[in-house]
Structure 1
Amino acid sequence: MKTNEELRQDVMDEIRWDPQLRDVATEIGVAAKDGVVTLSGSVHTYWKKRAAEKAAQRVSGVKVVASDVEVRVGPMQKKTDTEIAEAVKNSLRWNSAVNEDQIEVKVDKGWVYLDGLVDFQYEKVAAQRAVEDLLSVMGVTNNIAIKSEAVDTKDIQRKIAAAFHRSATVDSSSIKIEAAGHKVKLSGKVRSWAELKEAENIALSAPGVTSIENRIKIDVEVYA
């Protein structure tokens, strides 16, 4: 098991290793305690903040990532809320995975709020990814809902279990799947945050699933 200092150093090394973050790596601080990693500092775009969070989550031994990283946009790059809203709409319009007519956009002091109703979870995810890297975006709140239709819970469980079994990342034998209507509950133990999020993403990709209750725990020692 890693010490707090070893985990902190591994996260710092991963941030420095990521090509997206090499220009801001020295601006990001890292603290680690008992598997909880806290990021601090500032970056000039929201997508770099998200990239730092994802880099930390990839590191073995990380259980939780708390991000206190601030997005600070320079005066030459700063856009008005109206300009950001127009850029968001254009980005959604040009994204083939998104139906822009189903999504409402609001911007308040650089923070983007997405609302609406879509058919599949991947559309909700695609909409957020389409706007995260836009200039002057300070953050994104994704309130897009998924349409609910009648589902076969046993069929959902079978499909998710089969997808876990196909995955090279997820240990399907360590995860329990329970479905109730459109909601799926996952429990068990995995080796890393990355495996936990991959299990969650796979389950959310199942047709008819609108929400996940993720009770999976990270326990690196169980696989030692």
Structure 2
Amino acid sequence: MTNLRTTTDSKLKDAVVEELSWVPDVDSTKIGVAVSDGTVTLLGEVTSYSEKVRAAKAVMRVHGVRAVAQEITVKSPWTLTDADIAAKAQAALAASGNVPETVHVVVDNRILTLSGETRWQFQRLAAEHAVEHLRGVLGVHNTTTIKTGPAPADMANRIHAAFVRSADLDSKAINLTTDAEGTVTLRGFVHSAAERRTAAHACWAAPGVTAVHDELVVSL
């Protein structure tokens, strides 16, 4: 059994390395890959935080990946000050049509922290995407929270219907529960990390959702 697992991890590592080399805006020669029981650890250095994000997204697309551990270091060639980055970040947030004015940014040692409130998850993500590509940024912490109205009584049914409609989900293998505060908990099995992300994304699209607890297990 150990030999089989080792062989599977070895093949998965080869696939991850190949996928990283396939992405034109990621310098795969600077990224190391380790795999253990389907969990991929990325190591090495990149020149921008956005490249670090792109590398992780590329790995999540590979069949057989259960989880990704990010240990990549960002060493930016840009010597911008925190004040420079803060000004650019504020301008980027203001320029995004999907980011409400209730989102704020603080910069410390070139690491950005987003705070404030939004009504939807896509607005939280829009704020993150607006600043992650900026020059000199070494990391982004998104601490914004979602504040919406009361969760609809039929929220669970709406989410389940979205699962059924999706060609990328096996809705019969996923169980979900909701509470009055808008928290969704997912349990069950999916076939890939990508399917797991699709399930969470479907939940966030439902009105009234304020948090998603993902307890899904990737079963190949």
TM range (shorter): over 0.9
Q: Name the aligned partner's letter for residue 163 of structure 1.
A: A
TM-score when normalising by structure 1:
0.92
Secondary structure of the 1:3 match is helix
Find the counterpart in structure 2 of residue 215 from structure 1.
Answer: 215
* Post-superposition CA distance 1:155-181 (Å, at most 9, x none): 111111111122221111211111012
In 2: Cα distance, 1:168 partner to 1:152 partner: 25
Match of residue 23, structure 2, among 7, 15, 18: 18
Secondary structure of the 2:45 match is strand
Find the counterpart in structure 2 of residue 204 from structure 1.
Answer: 204
Find the counterpart in structure 2 of residue 173 from structure 1.
Answer: 172
- Verify: 1:65 aligned to 2:47, yes or no: no
Find the counterpart in structure 2 of residue 190 from structure 1.
Answer: 190
- Verify: 1:91 aligned to 2:86, yes or no: no
Secondary structure of the 2:62 match is coil
Find the counterpart in structure 1 of residue 80 from structure 2.
Answer: 79
* Post-superposition CA distance 1:67-100 (Å, at most 9, x none): 11000011xx22110111111111111111112x
The share of aligned pairs that are identical, in percent, is 36
Residue 152 of structure 1: how far off its partner (Å)? 2.5
TM-score when normalising by structure 2:
0.94
In 1: Cα distance, 2:206 partner to 2:148 partner: 13
Match of residue 42, structure 1, among 32, 45, 50: 45
* Post-superposition CA distance 1:163-202 (Å, at most 9, x none): 1122221111211111012100001111100100111111
Kept after mapping to 1: 8 A contact 2:159/2:203: yes
Q: Name the aligned partner's letter for residue 139 of structure 1.
A: G
Secondary structure of the 1:177 match is strand
Kept after mapping to 1: 8 A contact 2:152/2:207: no
Query: Moved runs in structure 1, 4+ residues, more than 6 A?
Result: none
In 1: Cα distance, 2:151 partner to 2:37 partner: 40
Unaligned runs of 5+ in 1: none
In 2: Cα distance, 1:199 partner to 1:139 partner: 26
Q: Name the aligned partner's letter for residue 212 of structure 1.
A: V
In 1: Cα distance, 2:17 partner to 2:28 partner: 8
In 1: Cα distance, 2:132 partner to 2:207 partner: 25
Please tell me the root mean square deviation across aligned C-alpha atoms, in Å. Answer: 1.2
Total equivalences in the alignment: 214
In 2: Cα distance, 1:141 partner to 1:108 partner: 11
Find the counterpart in structure 2 of residue 145 from structure 1.
Answer: 145
Kept after mapping to 1: 8 A contact 2:82/2:108: yes
In 2: Cα distance, 1:168 partner to 1:133 partner: 31
